[in-house]
Chains A and B, each alone.
Chain A
Amino acid sequence: MKILGLHERTAIGRMTAVVVIIVLLAVVGVSAYYLSTTSTPPAHTTSSTTGALASGTLSITFANVPKADPAVGSDEAGSAALANVYDTLVFPTSAGTLQHDLATNWQVSSDGLTYTFTIRQGVKFHNGDTLSASDVAFSMNRLTTIGQGYSYLFAPYIASITASDSSTVVIKLKQSFGPFLTALVRLYVLDQKQVEANEVATGTQYGSNKDYGSAWLLTHDAGSGPYSISAANLESSMTFSAFTGYWNGTQPNQPSTVQMLGSTSSTQALFSSHQIQITDQWQPYSTIIALAQGNGAKLATIPTVNEMYLMLNTKAAPTDDVYVRQAMSQALNYSAIVNNIFQGSKPSAGPVPTSLPGHNSNIPASAQNIALAKQTIAKSKYAGHLGDYPVKYFWVSEVPAEQKLALQFASDMQQIGITVQVLQQPWLTVVADLAKQASAPNVVSIEDGASYFEAGSVLQSRYTSASVGTWEQNEWLQNSTLDHLVSSALSTLDQTARFQAYAGVQTQIYNQYPTIYAFDVYEARAYYPTVVNWYAANGHPIPLLGYDFYFRDFQFFPSQLSALG
């Protein structure tokens, strides 16, 4: 057995030598990398028109890498990217109002069917092209033709859009739509010339517009916003660089570079090692809390325009009885839910999230009152034999925290004699079962919210007959009077009158108890307040999907990272 020892060792020794050489090469490479990174001056430190940019990269995780095509993106990451890369005619404020953006002025015809916008002059796209009214018309036509993303906000209403000259856009509507101006925060303006130069004849085709630049716009931009896309990998991250030629200038300490990463299993390690400065909201709440308790970290709870609804089937026994529904809403322990299960969230007050403009503030916040619930259920036609009518409750298996909500509900209902059959269902099964009245459960817990900055958005999508049979309505209201009231409110041009109409609709819905308003959803994230001064975390959120991440209004202090230890 020892015969080959010496030469075997020689052979192994040679292999070892090869390994050592490779390792040495790697060490040289890594050293070269360090030398190159330490000797290269930081990028994007050029001075700006109004404020010096902060060097370094602000990194934030989201649920996914954004889809930054204005005709495609509509989720949180996509909406955040679009808000930064593209300009819109109007811009939302934290007060729930609109301010001028590309539109310096506008007139609305008395019938509410014609909108005439004056477009800001001198605005440059990231490639140096000048923005004109025809770009606005092109962007709307592209959005409604492709029919994805936020197209649904405009497609039912737009009759025509024309650029009468380089600074004037005229939009004609098929029917009056009161919140039209508000919805325009979702019309992102592209550079027509640049998009047309990048249209290709592969993928989905749109006649002479070929693919409308869709493939190119997934990883590039044709915008004029405060940031441009500097690098994109649809599997990992998208990087944005501050646009120093932005028409509204730059802000002091505005981050020069921002990286939006798709949420990873490594988010905790990345945040703890300060490689990301703001986490996504999709980590388990206990994880967010743990991260926020780290050195220099803080918890941000930010209001959204979403609400957790326990949708009650008004066509199935026993929830077809209004007294049963009312008693259920009185019996639920809301404080236990917001304090123990969905911590950071707030009690709801009616069918519209409280942070949404147009919410009826006269509707009381949801609260438990078991004694009152017992009195109410005694008036029900099912009183005395509720045991014969078990309540079927669906919770969505993809959201584990909803199980606790379901169990809390079952426990509370037991106190008023209602038996609850808790069923875990995959989302696609929930969608399929809600499509038919026969298969729809008595109760299902679903989070839903507004698409634009007004109560009308929720009232229309949740409670009109148009949404019956979709996941947005298990109530099966099918109430033509209510449909008319919502439609009438939406077509009201005067905002004050429209909000009053919204309030009336909310009261009417509330009095029928079709829904248990569990809580207003607040998103929780961990962040480093000394490193990034974030308006949304400081009590000035813009509760419209994506607009809490308008990077131009961030202040970034990368030098503070070293102080975190």
Chain B
Amino acid sequence: MHLNDPIFVQYFYWVQGIFTGDWGIALFTQRNVLLDVQEFLPSTVELIAVAAIIDLLIAVPLGLVAGRYANSAVDNGVRILSYIGIAIPSFVVAVLLQISLGYGTHLFPIIGRLSQTTAPPPTITGLYTIDSLLTGNFGAFGDALWHLVLPAFALALGPIAQEARIMRSAVVENLHSDYTLSEISHGLPERTIALKYLMKPSLIPTITIYALDISAQIGNAFLIELIFNWPGFSRYGLNAMLSKDLNAIVAVVLVAGIMFAVANILVDLVVGYLDPRIRLRGRSGE
């Protein structure tokens, strides 16, 4: 383990191990940490991806409506919902959803990724929804999706509330901007104004926060995965911390950092696409 070597030599061995597939042995699972990452990361990625989709599908329309009808009853309603969403921790939402829609009404399963009677699809990506579709197993697809609803919604609620507020502010600001009034006075179709000239610039701050929220979800999912007995990477990270499993903790931090960096690069690209000023500045080398 090179514990007698200086710290920078130990660091060199660690970096070397990362690139050669030797991530060290996890005390918790007693196998190569890389194997753990390969097994547990896909389920968390799937959960976060579905949460991100739910987040986008709800936050943007909510913000648009609230901004369009600013200071109206609709706006106030969305505002209250947003504050509630921001104020209630995701694990409380998770437990409430589990009790009401899982235990109380039996509409959704309480725990796990699949029902006991459903065989997991063959591993291709590790994402059950994708793998089941790729293998044509629609039963498993539906079951996996059914299991995703509650944990993904619990995970998405906080970001929805936050991004809806940001979207609303951006819409209000852009609605009163000179270029919007100019477009109106030039007689551009309202649909074009709404979707191309109002929605796109309003999405820029929302998307920036959206990307940060997604990359932070690996940490937010710690308790969600615990509550829903979701065999994911966040739960793995939680167990690693509780058992002071340093190799596993380092891997969790490393993967979370990579996800954060990748999400930020992606958001830069998306913002560049949405905002021509950034794109043009990049081309002119400014």
Contact = CB atoms under 8 A, between A and B. Distances in A.
Interface string B210-233: 000000000000000011111110
Given A6-B190, A30-B145, A273-B106, A266 B227 contact: yes
Given A269-B99, A269-B103, A235 B68 contact: no
Contacts of B116: 57, 59, 257, 259
Interface string B66-87: 0010000000000000000000
Contacts of B278: none
A233 B231 contact: yes
B271 interface: no
B38 to A, nearest CB: 12
A273 B103 contact: yes
Contacts of A15: 57, 60-61
Interface string A1-44: 10111111011100110110010001011111111110010000
B51 interface: no
A365 B227 CA distance: 42
Contacts of B117: 37, 40, 57
Nearest to B143: A33
Interface residues of B, number: 60
B87 to A, nearest CB: 22
Contacts of A215: 31-32, 35
Interface string A528-564: 0000000000000000000000000000000000000
A1, A59, A265, most chain B CB atoms within 10 A: A265
B239 interface: yes
Interface string B200-215: 0000000000000000
A202 B189 CA distance: 64
Contacts of A6: 190
B273 interface: no
A262 interface: yes
B29 interface: yes
B115 A37 contact: yes
Contacts of B135: none
A12 B61 contact: yes
Contact of A235 (B120, B142, B145, B232): B232
B229 A266 contact: yes
B272 interface: no
A265 B32 CA distance: 28
Contacts of A269: 98-99, 102-103, 110
Nearest to A270: B110
Given A30-B146, A59-B116, A262-B229, A272 B138 contact: no
Nearest to A6: B190
23 contacts: A4-B68, A4-B190, A4-B198, A8-B64, A10-B194, A11-B195, A12-B61, A15-B57, A19-B57, A26-B142, A26-B146, A28-B138, A28-B142, A33-B141, A37-B115, A214-B30, A234-B231, A235-B239, A237-B231, A262-B229, A264-B111, A265-B95, A266-B227
Closest 3 interchain pairs by CB?
A: A29-B142, A36-B139, A7-B190
Interface of A: 1, 3-8, 10-12, 15-16, 18-19, 22, 26, 28-37, 40, 57, 59, 67, 69, 72, 202-204, 214-215, 218, 231, 233-237, 257, 259, 261-262, 264-266, 269-270, 272-273, 275
